[in-house]
Copies of this chain bind each other. A is one copy, B any other.
Amino acid sequence: MKINVLLSPISVDELYFTGKTTVVIDILRATTTIISALGNGAKEIIPVATVEFAVKVSGGMFGGQTLLGGERNTKKIEGFALGNSPMEYSEDIISGKSIILYTTNGTKAIVKAKFSGELFICAFSNISALAEHLVKLNKDVEILCAGRLNNFSMEDTVCAGKLINEIVKLNNDTILTDSAIASVSLNKSFGKSLLKMLKETEHGKLLIENGYEEDLKFCSKLNTTDSIPYFTGNILKLITNNKDISSSEHEN
């Protein structure tokens, strides 16, 4: 089982992902929000790469059952029902709803990796559950850090390192690329206090400046859920009892 980390989606093109098992991480805040929203009963999330496409998709869907969510430069987009704060996606608001989500880095990364054989969503909140699932799948894994504006993101890389740690604990026979080894090392150096780490990152500081300090607390919580969102037919849904994906047929 070989594990590679892409520190930013810009390093590769869409076809790179063809048939691969991919994990997308965008701690602040897209993937944390996706895991939270689906855990709170959203029917599905449709990640999109442009605001224009979000509006176009929403036009063809039933009003009331569909919500537009997301951000541009950390802030809610005009006309959208929801921003990108995971705490906005509470059960009373999103239960049973389809959510069309646009974010600056995270949903673009997911859409870029759309040709993956399997595509899973990771944040600090579901690392243990996802690690267990990936070890059962026993395929090579590409961990795609959404990064920030095509650049390195400390929080995404630390999360990648933490996920790799959990995988390695369960599977001794793991080969790590240089970027995977670097991610593990950065998790060792910065992953002990996740809230402290988030507050010190460039993105964390920007969110605090814009009034989203509570989001950092939420995004720093480790292993709070077993929810694993996966991407199929351009839609994100939760794996239910690990039986929603074809590969699970081969498990144990």
Contact = CB atoms under 8 A, between A and B. Distances in A.
Interface of A: 5-8, 10-12, 150-154, 157, 177-179, 181-182, 185-186, 188-190, 201-202
A177 B202 contact: yes
A102 to B, nearest CB: 22
Contacts of A188: 189
A11 B151 contact: yes
B7 A10 contact: no
Contacts of A8: 7-8, 11
Copies of this subunit: 2
23 contacts: A7-B7, A7-B152, A8-B8, A10-B10, A10-B150, A11-B151, A11-B152, A12-B150, A152-B178, A152-B179, A154-B182, A157-B182, A177-B202, A178-B201, A182-B182, A182-B186, A185-B185, A185-B186, A185-B189, A185-B190, A186-B186, A188-B189, A189-B189
A157 to B, nearest CB: 7
A155 to B, nearest CB: 9
- Listed from nearest, the 5 A-B pairs whose CB atoms lie closest are A152-B179, A154-B178, A185-B189, A11-B150, A11-B151
